């Protein structure tokens, strides 16, 4: 097992495109970390640099104390799982799992023992004689994980491993990957573009945008304390709403008869971010519900605020219908103030 360090990593593709800029990361031994961000932000590029499939144009990668920038991928002792599983279609499940050990010229008994051990770990002992074409997507992904783990890698890299599965299987495999990681203790980096997946699977996430790390911390902390406008907008479903407003004498006017007190922000234009769940029925903003959508136990109410469309998630017992007059109040901890130009979070505290 290994500790992984990325120091000032920089990636420029031969066409000159800068895919990753000054990426810094420390992953402790046995830790499970997620890279999340929109398509094209550089998650896979970074993973491929760790694996050795991509060259590194700047910075250093260390496994424990060994700098591995120029180490051949085959010597890095990494297990990798891809979105499309990449199983060998003409080999049985057993042969697929055993493949890295056969390649490594391990003894027959050892291969058999470790293949069975892995099949048991991912719970596919009864499928060993089948070919990949005779398996469901979730079963194929289990085989791919077993094959990645059979050589006891120092680090496990998973690149969008759940993308090809339907919603129910994704949930099941999420829990399975977490269980397998806990049981084996293998240091793991998991890549996804799905913020809900990222928020639910692990204790630590790294959020990227255009090759730059935006924030790294536990998911709940990132949700409650976004570092900038991008982070606030990326996490949350339905997403946060933003309003261009002005701070004036320590207050922000959301409407003629509704204002918030703000400590620590200078007078001038700001961008105010309000999460839909910040709203609840109560004395405050008088408005009208323009649309109401049932979302399981919640109501998603759309209304106008400061010339923009705003959304509130209310409890189903609120009994609000489209066209109704409503009065809403805010939970200030879910309201954020950003610089309207840079999107940086301002060190300002919102009070009710």
Task: Enumerate binding residues for ligand ATP (CB under 6 A).
Answer: 13, 15, 17, 19, 37, 39-45, 193
| Shortest separation between residue 197's beta carbon and ligand ATP, angstroms | 12
Strand arrangement, sheet containing 18-27: 18-27, 4-12, 58-63, 66-67
Comparison of 39 and 317: residue with beta carbon closer to ligand ATP = 39
CB of 138 to ligand ATP, least distance (A): 21
Closest CA to 36 of 158, 179, 176, 168: 158
Which three-class secondary structure state does DSSP give residue 126?
helix
CB of 9 to ligand ATP, least distance (A): 12
Mapped onto helix, strand or coil, the DSSP state of residue 275 is coil
**Minimum distance from residue 10 beta carbon to ligand ATP (Å):** 13
Decide whether 49 or 118 has the Cβ nearer to ligand ATP.
49
- Residues pairing with 251 in the sheet: 248, 261
| In the complex, minimum distance from the CB of residue 268 to ligand ATP, in angstroms, rounded to a whole number | 35
Strand pairing category for 187-192 and 155-159: parallel
Give the long-range contacts of residues 289-293, CB within 8 A, separation 24 or more. 289/320, 289/321, 289/322, 289/323, 289/324, 289/326, 290/322, 291/322, 292/320, 292/321, 292/322
Smallest gap from Cβ 37 to ligand ATP, in A, equals 6
Strands 291-295 and 298-305: antiparallel
Give the whole-angstrom CA distance, residue 346 versus residue 266: 10
Is the Cβ of residue 40 or residue 218 nearer to ligand ATP in the bound state?
40
Q: Output 52 or 284, the one with its CB closest to ligand ATP.
A: 52
> How far apart are CB 15 and ligand ATP at their closest, in Å?
5
Q: CB nearer to ligand ATP: give 1 or 212.
A: 212
User: Closest separation between CB of residue 290 and ligand ATP, Å?
Assistant: 34
Rounded to whole angstroms, the Cα distance separating 119 from 251 reads 61
Distance of closest approach, residue 160 Cβ to ligand ATP, in angstroms: 6
Q: What is the phi/psi pair of residue 238, to 5°? A: -65, 155
Q: Which letter does DSSP use for residue 345 in this model?
A: B
Q: Give the DSSP H or E segment for 146.
A: helix 137-149
Residue number, 194 or 339, with CB nearest to ligand ATP: 194
CB 279 within 8 A of CB 326: no
19 or 61, CB closer to ligand ATP?
19
- Is the Cβ of residue 15 or residue 317 nearer to ligand ATP in the bound state? 15
The contacts of residue 137 (CB under 8 Å, 6+ apart) are 164, 165, 166, 169
- Round to whole Å and give the CA distance between 200 and 144: 22
* Secondary structure (H, E, C), 317-338: HHCCCCCCEEEEEECHHHEEEE
For ligand ATP, give the closer residue by CB, 45 or 139.
45
């Amino acid at each position: 097992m290994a500790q992984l360090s990325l120091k000032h990593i920089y990636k420029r593709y031969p066409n000159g495109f800068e895919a990753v800029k000054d990426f810094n990361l420390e992953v402790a031994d046995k830790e499970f970390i997620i890279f999340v961000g929109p398509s094209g932000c550089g998650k896979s590029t970074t993973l491929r640099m760790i694996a050795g499939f991509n060259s590194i144009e700047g910075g250093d990668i260390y496994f424990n104390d060994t700098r591995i920038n120029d180490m051949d991928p085959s010597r890095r002792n990494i297990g990798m799982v891809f979105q499309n599983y990449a199983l060998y279609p003409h080999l049985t499940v057993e042969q697929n799992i055993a493949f890295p050990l056969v390649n490594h010229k391990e003894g027959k008994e050892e291969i058999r023992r470790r293949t069975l051990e892995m099949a048991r770990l991912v719970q596919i002992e009864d499928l060993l004689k089948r070919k990949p074409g005779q398996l469901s997507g979730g079963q194929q992904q289990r085989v791919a994980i077993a094959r990645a783990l059979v050589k006891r890698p120092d680090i496990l890299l998973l690149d969008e491993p759940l993308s090809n599965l339907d919603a129910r299987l994704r949930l099941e495999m999420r829990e399975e990957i977490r269980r397998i990681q806990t049981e084996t203790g293998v240091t793991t980096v998991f890549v996804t573009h799905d913020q809900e997946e990222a928020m639910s699977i692990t204790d630590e996430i790294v959020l990227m945008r255009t090759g730059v790390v935006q924030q790294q911390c536990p998911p709940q902390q990132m949700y409650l304390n976004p570092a900038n406008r991008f982070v606030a907008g990326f996490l949350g479903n339905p997403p946060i709403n933003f309003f261009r407003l002005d701070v004036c004498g320590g207050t922000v006017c959301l409407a003629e008869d509704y204002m918030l007190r703000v400590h620590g922000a200078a007078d001038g234009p700001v961008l105010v971010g309000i999460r839909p769940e910040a709203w609840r029925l109560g004395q405050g903003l008088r408005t009208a519900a323009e649309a109401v959508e049932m979302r399981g136990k919640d109501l998603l109410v759309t209304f106008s605020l400061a010339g923009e469309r705003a959304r509130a998630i209310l409890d189903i017992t609120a009994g609000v219908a489209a066209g109704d007059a409503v009065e809403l109040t805010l939970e200030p901890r879910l309201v954020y103030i950003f610089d309207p130009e840079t999107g940086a979070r301002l060190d300002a505290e919102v009070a009710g």
